[in-house]
Structure 1
Amino acid sequence: MTILGIDLGTTNSAMAYVKNGQPEMIVNSRGERTTPSVFQKNINGELVVGSVAKNQYSSLPEQTVLEIKRKMGTDEKITVGETSFTPEQISAHFLKYLKQAAEDFLGEKITEAVITVPAYFSDAQRKATKIAGEIAGLKVERILNEPTAAAIAYGLDHPDSEKNIIVYDLGGGTFDISVVRLDKNLIEVKASAGDNHLGGMDLDRLLVDWVAEQFAEQYDVPLFSFGEASEITQRHARVKLEAENVKKSLSSELSATFNLPFLAVYEGKPISLDYTITRAEFEDIVRPLLEETLVHVDKAIHDAKLAPDAIDDIILIGGATRIPLVQQLVEAKFERMAKKDINPDEAVALGAAIQGAMKEDSLSEESSLMVIDVCPYTLGTDVLRIVDGKRQSGYFDILIRRNEPLPVTAKKIYNTVNDNQTTIDIGVYQGDDEDARVNDDLRITETPLIVDEIPENAAGKEKVEIMFRYDVNGLIQIEATVLSTGRTISQVLDAQRGIMSARQVKEAKLELFDDWEKSKLASEMKGVIRRAKKVRRNAEPQQAVQIEEAIQQLEYAIQETDVELVKTREEALLDLLMEIIE
């Protein structure tokens, strides 16, 4: 059984598997190696994802959801039409699409996957990603950090290497930097850093702002200030898409043009945009943002206890690393050229597939790898301290430090602070500053773990041992033991802000797999499918299998809302039925 490797990206997603010991990309039903992470309710009320949704974004912006990855792990609801979705539900639609495309490509059922996330994703974001996989009908075998996945792909191709590498990952919505030690078949992440709100889409926004400035100078009116609200939204969508195209063009051309005919009507006159921007102008606009990534690079190098000249290879992944200025900044930092033989859009999915094959033990002994990842955040709890002779609560006390190898377990003993205290509330926080006061932005848990039934005693006499465990999936377990009685409470952190309950997950899964049956295409094909099932009941065993496969192929095309594919597979099913009946 194949374990699918999935790169669930902010702007694009991809999938891969291992064949004969080597990872290979899987194309979707449109023959694409990457799938836009775009979700939409189309004009027929059907839920669609991928290129179909992206191509209709400029005409249906209010019905379209982009960049949902940035909302993972939050309790925000996204309304599309009259329906509200959680981020997990929308991500599940992408994963279901990829799962079905992989099944179509491989000709087998897919039930397991390794899904990648940014190294700097929080526990809540990781858990939300795992839930999205569950809703989509996948058992998520591993949540894998994206830079680590790329390092795995690199390590498989360089099995005898002994070197230090950096993986610089500038994707559509996030930035990660990891320092990795390759020691033959051992891949050890030494340190990671990053920013979950810095990526190619932020560069697109800067270009949108540039266009708005040009327009304001030319027409003396803000570009997004006139017309009906729906017109403004549609106008912004068109400019945003064009900004992405211009950004991509400037990676290979010295100039590019914003060409947007009939973008708006102002004072009764149609307005078209035709602005040319040079690569040099673009670089001036985005340089400050890109230089922010180097701050995180310095942090990771420092945490890895290495000097820049100790780095042997530079691996660039994420579509935004195609920007020449990105390459120049990173290469200047390390005074060496980046590797050019790695596809920045595919390395993460390939590495995830290899991780899946490692789980299956389907790699040869020569190709087998051992991977050691790190905890990207410092984790701790809140304690009371004596400051200037006064008791003050809410100070951050560290249990697990950033960049500890995974899995990691840490324990500390805490005392009661009041006479006859019978309970302790354990909050879990992530941060870096040991002297910081905790706040809701740092808190991981919705509510604290409550340790009760502590014997009444004088302040400081009763002791509670608190243990944090951070596993290879980046998920956290806490345990508290009252030392005088041995009473222990243990909990995997599920009750988090923004995380769906088990009941909500079950309901979302049922909705996801029922939605397609209510679509217009499904209604049109209902008669054909009913007829095919009737013929199947009386067919020979081999013929029954052929009919079942043809029905599944047609149902898959319906779920894809691909009209041409539905027609093709309807004809194939009808031809098969005619052959069998005759």
Structure 2
Amino acid sequence: MTASSFVPDIVGIDLGTTNSLVAYWHDGAPHLIPNALGQTLTPSVVSLDDDGSVLVGLAARERLQSHPQRTIASFKRGMGTATSFRLGDRVFRAEDLSALVLRALRADVRARFGQDVDRAVITVPAYFSDAQRAATRNAGLIAGFAEVSLLNEPTAAALAYGLNERDDSQFLVFDFGGGTFDVSILELFSGVMEVRATAGDNQLGGDDVDACVERWVMDSAGLPAELMGEPVFVSKLRARCEAAKRALSSDPTARISFQHGPHLIDLTLGIDQFERLIQPVLDRLRYPVETAIRDARIGTADLSAVVLAGGSSRLPAVRQLVTRMFGQFPSASLNPDEVIALGAAVQAGLKTDAVELAERVMTDVCPYTLGIESSKQVSADRHTAGFMSPIIARNTVVPVSRVQSFQPLTADQRVISVRVYQGEARLVKDNIPLGQFDVDLPRSTDGRWPHIDVRFTYDVDGLLEVEATPKLGEQAAGPSRRLVIQNSAERLSDEQVAERLQALSSLKMHPRERMEVRALLARAERLFMQLALDERERLGHEITRFELDLESQDPRRIAQGQAGLQRLVQLCEADSPLGV
């Protein structure tokens, strides 16, 4: 297939905490698109290079240790919040950083097909709040996509898993990524994929596993807490702890060894001790699973398979937990790192009415309870406000429309304030406000109390319409008031998108065709910092020589210098006790 023979109308994107991927649907199957380095996984890391250009992906990740104040990772948890991140002399919001990652993926699509694709399905954790979903949609628009639709991550994994399933079945998707955890239970019957229930934790992921190890290192080495305020130390610590976590997936012990100023850290972590350290994380994985099973009204024995998604699900302790919880080994038919992106590509195929998917139908659910604030009578003459009155319960199949009636506290009340909330708590103060409006009540001439009918309509794209109609008896008695909450008030206007897009466009993206060279230099610089002083001279000399090769702009000289530096870096890494 040549770049000109086929161009997809829409791509599927897994915008992950740790890594991001992009895929498309063609010839009856999903296909991943490689980045400039030929890899399908693009680290969700952004860095400002010394010349002010933006690096995204592996080259940026390699700079986490050498340039920690100009590099950022794990910003997905900041989506939908006012949290800001500083890179050098610039400040970004999480959706701006996500937009830079998406822009890099969009460039990979352009390189693959020779032109831009302007529509995207972007996956989000199933338990992402309304504001977090809005931020993700905004990031896609800021990245230059003209149309963005969202898809729950476990639903995407289910689409990829169920693509070749023909028998009716029920299965659970256990999606444990770098920053979030989701679990969904789905049923496949007669070609229809229906989400039965979903639950999750937006503040639970592989980053929390790393944090357990980091605390152990600080305590075991007797290090002062003030070090956690030093970016260079924190980047070194996190890199070594993550490397140890990966090593323990195959080895019984892992060494954590590095020096920072006068502090020498040299520790050995065993697999049993590691699993004890992360037990609090494993315990937190249980609650969303139990919630989803309870909401789906099934037993674990009713599940035909458990599908793993997310890179953190590779941990042996997690797989053992899943096996114990469900009494069966999890499915290993799909790569946990790729399954969500592949599912997003399937959804892209569904949106373009691909003939191979003509017999497939996908239904999803509303992940949160939606309702309004109401008052309750606590005594004969007293009412207390602040209670949540659900109108659409969590895990209701969408699209859905529900209506409830509410009456004023007194017969002469002329206005009712309709305040819309999202969440599971009993009191609205513990839930998330989405919007509000006032409804005028009619005067009653025959002693009947007026009331309002409040109708919630929620569709598959996360658009909530709230309509309140004043009534006397069964008859409408005034104009209806309507509020449309399109992935929250955080949704940007066209003018705001254009303004943010222009602001990010002023940042120079590092040339895609030179990303391999830049990643090699960043890798060499990171390794240089890790080597002992007496081991640095040869590598430092080779880095300098290669930089001179680049300045010569001689392709043959650059290729020779790149090959030489590559060999030396590989040799140094092979000799490293850290195996990094």
Alignment of 1:393-404 (within 5 A): 393-404=385-396
Q: Which residue of 2 aligns with 1:31?
A: 38
Superposed, 1:106-255 pairs within 5 Å as: 106-158=113-165, 160-216=166-222, 222-225=223-226, 232-255=230-253
1:23 match: secondary structure: strand
Asked if the contact 2:186/2:194 (under 8 Å) is kept, the reply is yes
- Aligned with residue 50 of structure 1, among 49, 57, 60: 57
Q: Tell me if structure 2 keeps the 8 A contact 1:182–1:188.
A: yes
1:470 matched residue in structure 2: 458
Equivalence map 1:25-424=2 (5 Å) = 25-158=32-165, 160-216=166-222, 222-225=223-226, 232-260=230-258, 262-265=259-262, 271-364=263-356, 368-389=359-380, 390-424=382-416
2:287 and 2:310 map into 1 onto residues whose CA distance is 18
- Note the C-alpha offset of 1:48: 2.2
1:81 positional shift? 2.7
Distance 1:226 1:162 in 2: 55
1:226–1:38 CA distance, 2 compared to 1 (3 A):
closer
Native 8 Å contact 1:48 1:561 kept in 2: no
Q: Deviations over 1:47-76 (max 9, x none)?
A: 222111111111222222222211111123
Distance in structure 1 (CA, Å) of the matches to 2:25 and 2:247: 33
Identity across the alignment (%) = 35
**Distance apart, 1:107 and its partner CA:** 2.5
Aligned equivalents of 1:426, 1:561: Cα separation in 2 = 58
Cα distance per residue 1:23-63 (max 9 Å; x no partner): 11111111121111112222222222211111111122222
Name 1:7's counterpart in structure 2: 14
Pick closer, same or farther for the CA change 1:452–1:429 going to 2, 3 Å.
closer
Structure 2 counterpart of 1:443: 432
Q: Which amino acid aligns with 2:365?
A: V
Report the Cα distance in structure 2 between the residues aligned to 1:563 and 1:206, rounded to whole angstroms: 29
Deviations 1:449-497 (A, max 9, x none): 2234433459972222212122112332222222343412222225957
Q: Which amino acid aligns with 1:238?
A: K
Shift of 1:113: 0.6
| Per-residue Cα deviation, 1:175-232 (whole angstroms, up to 9, x for no partner) | 011111112421111111110000000000011111111110xxxxx344259x5xx2
**Quick one: distance in 1 between partners of 2:392 and 2:515?**
45
Deviations along 1:319-367, one digit per CA (max 9) or x if unpaired, are 11111111111111111111112100000000000100111112425x6
Aligned to 1:542: none
1:513 corresponds to 2:510: no
Aligned residue for 1:361, secondary structure, equals coil
Q: Per-residue deviation at 1:423?
A: 2.9
Which amino acid in structure 2 is aligned with residue 185 of structure 1?
G
Q: Answer with 414-423 or 322-331: which moved more.
A: 414-423
Shift of 1:145: 0.5
Q: Name the stretch that deviates more: 78-87 or 276-285.
A: 78-87
Q: Secondary structure at the match of 1:374?
A: strand
Contact between 1:444 and 1:497, CA under 8 Å: does it hold in 2?
no
- For 2:46 and 2:433, how far apart are their aligned partners in 1? 28
- Cα deviation, 1:526-549, whole Å, max 9, x if unaligned, reads xxxxxxxxxxxxxxxxxxxxxxxx
CA distance in 2, matches of 1:35, 1:153: 20
**Range 8-17 or range 477-486, more displaced:** 477-486
Q: How many residues align?
A: 514
Quote the Cα distance in structure 2 between the aligned partners of 1:297 and 1:92.
32
Report SS of the residue matched to 2:64.
Answer: coil
Unaligned regions of 5+ residues in structure 1, if any? 217-221, 266-270, 522-554, 573-582
Which is worse superposed, 465-474 or 281-290?
465-474
For residues 41 and 130 of structure 1, the distance between their equivalents in structure 2, rounded to whole angstroms, comes to 24
Partner of 1:429: 421
CA distance in 2, matches of 1:564, 1:257: 25
Question: How far does residue 561 in structure 1 lie from its aligned partner after superposition?
Answer: 9.9
Structure 1 contact 415–460 (Cα < 8 Å) conserved: no
Shift in Å at residue 368 of structure 1?
3.9
Normalising by structure 2, report the TM-score.
0.83
Distance 1:571 1:147, change over 3 A: farther
Cα distance in 1 between the residues matched to 2:468 and 2:517: 51
* CA distance in 2 between partners of 1:291 and 1:563 (Å): 38
Structure 2: 5+ residue runs without aligned partners? Answer: 1-7, 522-549, 556-580
Partners of 1:215 and 1:223 within 8 A in 2: no
* 1:456–1:420 Cα change, 3 Å: farther
Contact preservation (8 Å) 2:375, 2:383: yes
CA contact under 8 A between 1:7 and 1:352: conserved in structure 2?
yes
Using a 3 Å threshold, how does the CA distance of structure 1 residues 486 and 442 change in structure 2: closer, same or farther? Answer: same
Match of 2:468 among 474, 477, 480: 480
Q: Matches of 1:126 and 1:495 in 2, distance apart? A: 6
Change (3 A) 1:514 1:189: same
Instruction: Give the superposition deviation at 1:424.
Output: 2.5
Q: Which residue of 2 aligns with 1:544?
A: none
* Aligned residue type for 2:158: A
Task: Quote the Cα distance in structure 2 between the aligned partners of 1:118 and 1:13.
Answer: 13
Contact kept? 1:318, 1:345, Cα under 8 Å: yes
User: 2:460 corresponds to which letter in structure 1?
Assistant: V
Bigger Cα displacement from structure 2, 246-255 vs 346-355: 246-255
